[in-house]
Amino acid sequence: MTTDITLGTAISIPGSIQYGAWDAFTHPTGHVEFLPVIIAQGKQNGPCLWLTAAIHGVEHAGPWVIHELLNDELVEKLRGMIIAIPALCPVGVRVNKYVPYVVEKNPNRLWPEDKPKLAQPDPEKRPPFPLEVAYERLFMEIMNSADYLIDYHNASIGSIPFVFRDRILYRSDENEEENKAEAKALAERLGQMLKAFGHTIINEYPVEKYTDEDLHRSTSGSVLLKGRIPAFTVELGGGQMPDRTIVNAAVAGTRNVLRWAGMLEGDFEPINGIKIMDPGYAVRSTGGLRMPRPGIAIHLKEPGQMVSEGEPVAELRDIWGRPLDESPLVSEHEGFILGRSHGIFFDHGESIFHMAMRDDQPLIGPYPEDFFKEK
């Protein structure tokens, strides 16, 4: 339980909200890139919840959620502390980019991982980006104080809001049974936290694809797997046109997490105004329903609709409006639609829909056999 903290220029004071900046790195021009910090501390001791947002510059709902949540009324009732960073990548926000010019890959794949670093880095390879080094430092700040973490994101315009549940991975090359038991306990704790948030739950990819996609190096993935702290990612509809109803539901869900964690008193409040999907079985994300060749796709399904395997989901046409031979596109899976891709013109292989499909994979599992081997 954290009783006081200093993060950059923000210094916690019981019964108040404090603001400051945490220096991340220096640009070649000499300008310092800083992350905004908000610390809300109750008058009574309790757990510490970290809230992060806007690691992608085009995803704007998360800062709004944080601003709506943190107020004097909440602090008056709060036990413990909330540490919030409403912009994990301010440079991305400034240039309105998912991947800003200071990195060459998704910034949400730059967080520390369990895999040890090479004793002798390859001098022919580029060293870590300054932003990556900053996230390594910030990760240590999280480890020093956090009991829980929520990372807010956006999916696409019109998509239903949902949470990603990461698989819990463990080492099987040493202390396997002990590590497996610890992973199971962490998975159960995470499941309780997700249930408290009260949104649709989507399991992440199975283990091999999960690590291939570097999802273990996302903000929540790193805190969960390397830090062994319950953490999850929230997807809150469209990014640059946030929906107030979705934001309000996320604020309510976050307050319910605070109640679950013993940081607020009172009964859980209802999650109103959003579609919450529960097909009666676990689901995971897919790579999407993809265009079989260049052309036009007319969507036949909306986000939040159930889909059966083999059911038509889109009419496919050429530029003259004639049906393509592959029309209609049918679903390869049973599940439901998470969101539609923007527009109607698609290249070969582009996703037309993002979908949740039935998931029969375990929620915990060992890291891939070669994960810890030097390459």
Dmax of the chain from CA atoms?
67
> Residue 3: is its pLDDT beyond 80?
no
Q: Over the stretch 12-55, which tens digit does the pLDDT of each residue have? A: 999 999 999 999 999 999 999 999 999 999 999 999 999 999 99
Average pLDDT on 207-221 reads 93
Higher pLDDT, 126 or 119: 126
Torsions phi, psi for 76 (to 5 deg): -60, -30
Which position has the token pair 């430092």? Answer: 137
Q: Please tell me the pTM assigned to this model.
A: 0.95
Q: What percent of the chain clears pLDDT 70, i.e. is strictly above it?
A: 98
Distance CA 252, CA 269 (A): 7
- Judged on CB neighbours under 10 Å (0-12, 13-18, 19+), 208 is exposed
Query: In 176-319, at which residue ranges do the beta strands (DSSP E only) sit?
Result: 200-203, 231-235, 283-285, 289-290, 295-299, 306-307, 312-317
Q: Of 325, 324, 323, 300, which Cα lies nearest the Cα of 313?
A: 300
Which tokens go with 275? 């579609």
Q: Which domains does the chain have, with CATH numbers?
A: 6-260 (3.40.630.10), 283-358 (2.40.50.100)
The whole-number pLDDT of residue 119 equals: 66
Q: Average per-residue pLDDT in the chain?
A: 94
Q: Over the stretch 178-204, which tens digit does the pLDDT of each residue have? A: 999 999 999 999 999 999 999 999 999
Residues 307/332, Cβ–Cβ less than 8 Å: no
The whole-number pLDDT of residue 364 equals: 94
Q: Over the stretch 246-303, which tens digit does the pLDDT of each residue have? A: 999 999 999 999 999 999 999 999 999 999 999 999 999 887 789 999 999 999 999 9
Give the pLDDT band (50/70/90) at residue 229.
Answer: very high
The whole-number pLDDT of residue 288 equals: 78
Give the pLDDT band (50/70/90) at residue 127.
Answer: confident
Higher pLDDT, 375 or 87: 87
Which tokens go with 207? 């283990």
Residues 152/249, Cβ–Cβ less than 8 Å: no
